[in-house]
Amino acid sequence: MPAQNIVPNTVATSAAHIEPCHGYAFDGDLVRLYAQIAVDAVPVANAEWAVQLWACATPFAGGELHGTKIAEVRAAVAAEAPAWLDATTTALPPAGAGEHAMVLVLASGDDGHFAAIHDYANYPHAERFVLPRLGGTVGYRIDGGSVTLEVGSVANPRPADNLSGSLALEFWALAAPYAGADAFAGSKLAGVDLGTLAGGCALDGLTFTLSCAGQPDGVWYPVLMLREWTAAGWVTRDYTAFAPSGAAAPLAAAPVAQAPAVETAPLAEAPVIEAPAAAPAVVEPAPAVKPAKAKARKAKAAASGPAVSVNTSTVTALAEVKGISKTVAAAIVAARPYASLDDLLRAKGVGAKLLEKLRAQLTL
Q: Write out pLDDT tens, residues 280-338.
A: 333 344 444 444 443 333 333 334 467 888 877 777 778 888 888 877 887 787 777 77
The reply to whether 152 and 255 lie within a common domain is yes
Q: Would you say residue 300 lies in a domain?
A: no
More confident residue, 279 or 244: 244
Quote the CA–CA distance of 188 and 212 in Å, as a whole number.
Answer: 9
Tally of domains in the chain: 3
The reply to whether 37 and 51 lie within a common domain is yes
Q: What is the DSSP string of 204-263?
A: EEEEEEEE-PPPPSS-BEEEEEEEEEETTEEEEEEEEEPPPBSTT--SSPPPPP--TT-E
| pTM exceeding 0.85 | no
In which band, very low, low, confident or very high, does the pLDDT at 170 lie, cut at 50, 70 and 90? Answer: very high
More confident residue, 157 or 14: 157
CATH of the domain at 107: 2.60.40
Q: Would you say residue 357 lies in a domain?
A: yes
Beta pairing class for 186-195 and 133-143: unpaired
More confident residue, 259 or 139: 139
Output DSSP code: residue 310. T
Quote the CA–CA distance of 264 and 130 in Å, as a whole number.
Answer: 21
Quote the CA–CA distance of 161 and 312 in Å, as a whole number.
Answer: 16
The mean pLDDT of 54-58, rounded to a whole number, is: 94
The reply to whether 102 and 173 lie within a common domain is no
> Which domain does 326 fall in, by range?
308-363
The reply to whether 139 and 238 lie within a common domain is yes
What's the confidence (pLDDT) of residue 33? Answer: 97
The reply to whether 222 and 282 lie within a common domain is yes
What's the confidence (pLDDT) of residue 11? Answer: 61
The reply to whether 124 and 139 lie within a common domain is no
What's the confidence (pLDDT) of residue 261? Answer: 38
> CB 312: neighbour CB atoms within 10 A?
13
Contact 28, 4 (CB under 8 A): no
The reply to whether 204 and 284 lie within a common domain is yes
The reply to whether 162 and 242 lie within a common domain is yes
Last residue of a domain, one of 96, 128, 160: 128
Among the residue ranges 125-129, 242-246, 314-318, the one predicted with the least confidence is 314-318
Among the residue ranges 12-21, 24-33, 99-108, 220-229, the one predicted with the least confidence is 12-21
The mean pLDDT of 69-74, rounded to a whole number, is: 94
Q: Cα angle vertex 3, ends 89, 103, to 5°?
A: 60
Mean pLDDT of all residues belonging to the chain: 79
What's the confidence (pLDDT) of residue 264? Answer: 41
CATH of the domain at 345: 1.10.150.320
What's the confidence (pLDDT) of residue 297? Answer: 38
The reply to whether 348 and 334 lie within a common domain is yes
Most confident of 33-42, 69-78, 134-143, 273-282: 134-143
